[in-house]
Amino acid sequence: MRFDLSQQRERMVERQLARRGIRDPAVMRAMRSVPRDRFVPKELIEFAYDDTPLPIDADQTISQPYIVALMADALELEPHDKALEIGTGSGYAAAILGAITAHVYTIERHETLCIRARTVLEELGFDNVHVRCGDGTKGWPEEAPFDAIAVTAGGPVVPKSLREQLAVGGRLVIPVGDAGVQRLKRVWRTGEDEFEEEDFGPVRFVPLIGAEGWSAEHGTPAGLRVREPSRARGTLKHRAAARPTTAAEIVARAAEPLERHDTADLKPLLARIADARVVLLGEASHGTAEFYDMRARITLALLDSDPNFRIVAVEADWPDARQVDRFVRGLEAAPHPERAFTRFPTWMWANKQVLAFINRLRDVNAGRAAEQAVGFHGLDLYSLRTSIRSVLAYLEGVDREAAALARARYACLVPWEHEPAAYGAAAARGRFDDCADEVARMLADLLRQRLDYERKDEEGFFDAERNAALVKNAERYYRAMYYGRHESWNLRDEHMFETLRALLHRHGSRARAVVWAHNSHLGNAAATTMSARGETNVGELCRTAFGDSCYAVGFGTDHGTVAAANDWDAPLEIMQVRPAHEASYERVCHDTRLPGFLMPLRRPKTDNVRAALLAERLERAIGVIYRPDSELVSHYFHASLPRQFDEWIWFDETTAIDPLPVSEHSAETPQTFPFGV
Ligand code: SAM
């Protein structure tokens, strides 16, 4: 049964297109009328109007709605135009062009896709759209010239044949660049031999494969032959030597095998990290013991190697982490309005692996002078309520008059503290005056009094300032949530980065930091599908700010168990992780048959590693939520691993973390003080 998804379509047009500046009324009409749900695989219909590309057969994708609209907009179509599309895929973009203009010719190299697209287009009555199976880089000479040409796969250059088949005055839109990321170009044919080119910014497409595109090996999925770097190409005799030919074989040769996380030799890794100021340690799930334990080992080794490592900053809320911070520094528990890590997802930090780690941090600090102590800090911003209370409690101690004013300023948000998302929606819809001014003024008030307050309680001031900054950013975050995931994602990662910078600044120019967060926050977003959606992350911001002084390590696994929930606020379950998708990096790693390994990517051991892994593959991200049944859509994204990380750590089989049981969690024994207070 098909559902009426017209409301979702309308919302897509409004939120994803109109707000991003798509203006051409004909494009908007087409996007409103063509049912994208008819072009996606049946099992993905519920995602048809999401702001994302989706997988279709033959390992290809149907483009993100915004990209389809952007390309159609850039083609500046007239109703009588004749258009050519290269890369029919599902047929959706061809249908959009067909709804705008008189004649559309579209070519797809995969026969299965081509046949299916033809059927759907016929069923929907698009008799002005003609589908051909074959290599589109040569164009469709019999029907040339075209007023508009759209290429929906990324090529190394603009194919010459396509330029030649453009009418004078015609427009060609094409992603051009390497396999990882391309630039969307518009080429105008302004005269018989004259062309003008414009750049529409970075995009990410599957490769254009054909006579005037990439060769067929480009983007080869795991297990097939990969292109050898040119230097390694040789005579047949030369090639006959035992040269690794699959990505998995290449990785297996370049990897530093490790049997167990607790016995791995970390010296080579520490040498590679060398003098990085910021070390980013990712994770492919929030509930895998090996990821926590290995990060703990690396972190402790770094602390041991240099006393300037004084910051451990994690994807947890600031006030909660502060309680752990006091514990690891051997201080009394701060009087606090709320116990730490009691909100969903509690297990992310209240687990035995973290407990063991923070006990070790406490030991480290016992051997360091107080001013050299390592701090444990939270970068995240989900603690609106606790942060407001922390600011008020601080001001009560240093300036009661200011505390009264703060209470008045925060009064705007207090009714919403338990449901900040509802605040965001109400404010964004204009049903309610937002609190942006109040929270910004509160932070400004605090900063104005810095000198005075710092004199009374320097550390308390820094904490209050971070909490006030958190409230200000969280207020924006909840309003942005209403507009879509991308805006709010960016605000959250920018907040995390701002907090990290504030910590580095506070500890001086020699201070070094280790950051723990999910791979999706720490791997460079510019090397993943995130960038085409306009998303950035902590990894990209660090790369931009610190260059090679930032060393990013990603983690991955094939199968095993994981601690996660199947929905937000749902109970924790220990779930089975499905074996990795055949087109993923994880499958390449699994095919090495190694139980685990470290693999340097910035300066790999053999020079064909980067070439073998550079073309994008799928990568899995399990968060606090895991939905194995819709795994491909919910948990995989495209990335170019060597551009995303400097190092990759692999555990083929992994086990779930041990969440702290509620009784232990709340017991006020010294061992559990950071969680139990
Ligand atoms: N426009 C498509 C849609 O709306 O579903 C999405 C296209 S998908 C991003 C790119 C498509 O280009 C893939 O289906 C791929 O097989 C196809 N492709 C790549 N190289 C091609 C070539 N030389 N000729 C024709 N199709 C090609």
Query: Count of domains in the chain?
Result: 3
d(CA 49, CA 65): 8
As to burial, measured by CB atoms within 10 angstroms (0-12 exposed, 13-18 middle, 19+ buried), residue 123 is exposed
* Distance of alpha carbon 214 from alpha carbon 177, whole angstroms: 11
* Mean pLDDT value of segment 318-340: 82
Residues 143 and 75 in one domain: yes
Residue 316 pLDDT exceeds 80: yes
**386 and 369 in one domain?**
no
> Taking 90 as the threshold, does the pLDDT of residue 179 lie above it?
no
- Is 330 or 426 the better-scoring residue by pLDDT? 330
- Are residues 468 and 395 both part of a single domain? yes
Average pLDDT, the chain: 88
In a domain, 296, yes or no: yes
Q: 647: domain CATH number? A: 3.40.1660.10
pLDDT for position 242: 46
Asked whether residue 645 is domain-assigned, the answer is yes
- In a domain, residue 536? The reply is yes
Q: Are 605 and 271 in contact (CB under 8 A)?
A: no
Look at residue 364 and tell me whether its pLDDT is greater than 80. Answer: yes
Q: Any bridge partners for residue 146, and if so which?
A: 166
Residues 304 and 325 in one domain: yes
pLDDT band at 228 (very low <50, low <70, confident <90, very high): very low
Bridge partners of residue 620, in order along the sequence = 636
612/225 Cα distance (integer angstroms)? 9
224 falls in which pLDDT band (50, 70, 90)? Answer: very low
Boundary (domain end) residue, out of 186, 203, 220: 203
> What DSSP character marks residue 165?
T
Dist. CA 664–CA 672, nearest whole Å: 7
Q: Quote the strand ranges of 468-539, DSSP E.
A: 512-516
Q: What is the spatial distance between Cα 526 and Cα 3, in angstroms, rounded to a whole number?
A: 36
Q: What is the pLDDT of residues 199-211, one digit of tens each?
A: 887 777 889 999 9
pLDDT bracket for residue 664 (50, 70, 90)? very low
Task: For residue 90, give its domain range.
Answer: 6-203
Residues with CB under 6 A from ligand 1: 60-63, 86-87, 89-90, 92-93, 107-110, 113, 135-137, 152-153, 205-206, 208-210, 213
Specify if 494 maps to a domain.
Answer: no
Q: What's the pLDDT at 612?
A: 87
Reference 439, options 400, 384, 488; nearest CA is 384
Determine which one of 63, 161, 520, 640 is catalytic: 63
Q: Alpha-carbon Rg of the chain, whole angstroms?
A: 27
DSSP labels, 360-418: HHHHHHHTS-GGGPPEEEEEE---HHHHHHHHHHHHHHH-HHHHHHHHHHHTTTGGGTT
Which of these ranges, 163-167, 271-275, 492-496, has the smallest mean pLDDT?
271-275
Q: Are 322 and 378 in contact (CB under 8 A)?
A: yes
495 assigned to some structural domain? no
Best CA proximity match to 360, nearest among 378, 342, 374: 374
- Is 265 part of a structural domain of the chain? yes
pLDDT (0 to 100) of residue 421:
83
pLDDT at 230: 29
Q: What is the mean pLDDT of residues 554-569?
A: 94
For residue 91, tell me if it sits in a domain.
Answer: yes
Token digits of residue 86: 């290269």
* pLDDT reported for residue 59: 85
**With b meaning 16 or more CB within 10 Å and e meaning fewer, what string describes 53-78?**
bbbbebebbbbbbbbbbbbbbbbbbe
Whole-model pTM? 0.66
Does residue 674 surpass a pLDDT of 70?
no
- For the cut 80, the answer to whether the pLDDT of residue 549 exceeds it is yes
68 and 177 inside one domain: yes
Task: Identify the pLDDT of residue 158.
Answer: 95
- CATH number of the domain residue 68 falls in: 3.40.50.150
Read off the pLDDT of residues 383-414 as tens digits, 9 standing for 90 and up.
999 999 999 999 999 999 999 999 999 998 88
| Spatial distance between the Cα atoms of 389 and 313, rounded to a whole number of angstroms | 22
Query: Are 340 and 274 in a shared domain?
Result: yes
Instruction: Select from 40, 44, 67, 86 the residue to mutate for testing ligand 1; criterion: most ligand atoms less than 8 Å from CB.
Output: 86
174 and 286 within one domain: no
Residue that terminates a domain, selected from 179, 203, 227: 203
Closest CA to 580 of 555, 560, 558, 597: 558
Q: 442-464, pLDDT tens digit by residue?
A: 999 999 998 899 888 889 999 99
390 catalytic, yes or no? no
Question: Do β-strands 617-620 and 636-639 pair in parallel, antiparallel, or remain unpaired?
Answer: antiparallel
Decide: 355 and 675 in contact? Cβ < 8 Å: yes
Mean pLDDT on 644-657: 97
What's the CA-to-centroid distance between 613 and ligand 1, angstroms? Answer: 22
Taking the CA of residue 89 as reference, the ligand 1 atom at the shortest distance is 14
Quick one: 63 and 154 in the same domain?
yes
Residues 286 and 408 occupy one common structural domain: no
77 C-alpha to center of ligand 1: Å? Answer: 21
Regarding whether 297 and 253 lie in a shared domain, the answer is yes
Nearest to 613 by CA among 631, 623, 627, 599: 599
Q: Flag the least confident range among 186-195, 592-601, 653-662.
A: 653-662
Confidence at residue 46, expressed as pLDDT on a 0 to 100 scale: 78
Q: Name the phi and psi angles at 213, rounded to 5.
A: -125, -140
Q: Are residues 394 and 365 in the same domain?
A: no
The single residue listed with the structure tokens 């605040």 is: 423
Cβ neighbour number for residue 403 with a 10 Å cutoff: 17
Residue 673, in any domain of the structure = no
The Cα–Cα gap between 133 and 111 comes to 6
Give the Cα-Cα-Cα angle 446, 428, 405 (nearest 5 degrees).
25
pLDDT (0 to 100) of residue 577: 97
Site to substitute for ligand 1 among 109, 113, 116, most atoms within 8 A of C-beta: 109
Q: Do 167 and 271 share a domain, yes or no?
A: no
Task: Judge whether residue 515 has pLDDT over 50.
Answer: yes
* d(C-alpha 507, C-alpha 541), whole Å: 20
Q: Which class for 418: exposed (0-12), middle (13-18), buried (19 or more C-beta within 10 A)?
A: exposed
pLDDT at 177: 87
- HSE-CB at 329 with a 13 A cutoff on CA atoms is 22
pLDDT tens profile 10-68: 988 988 888 777 889 999 999 999 999 999 988 788 788 888 888 898 889 899 898 99
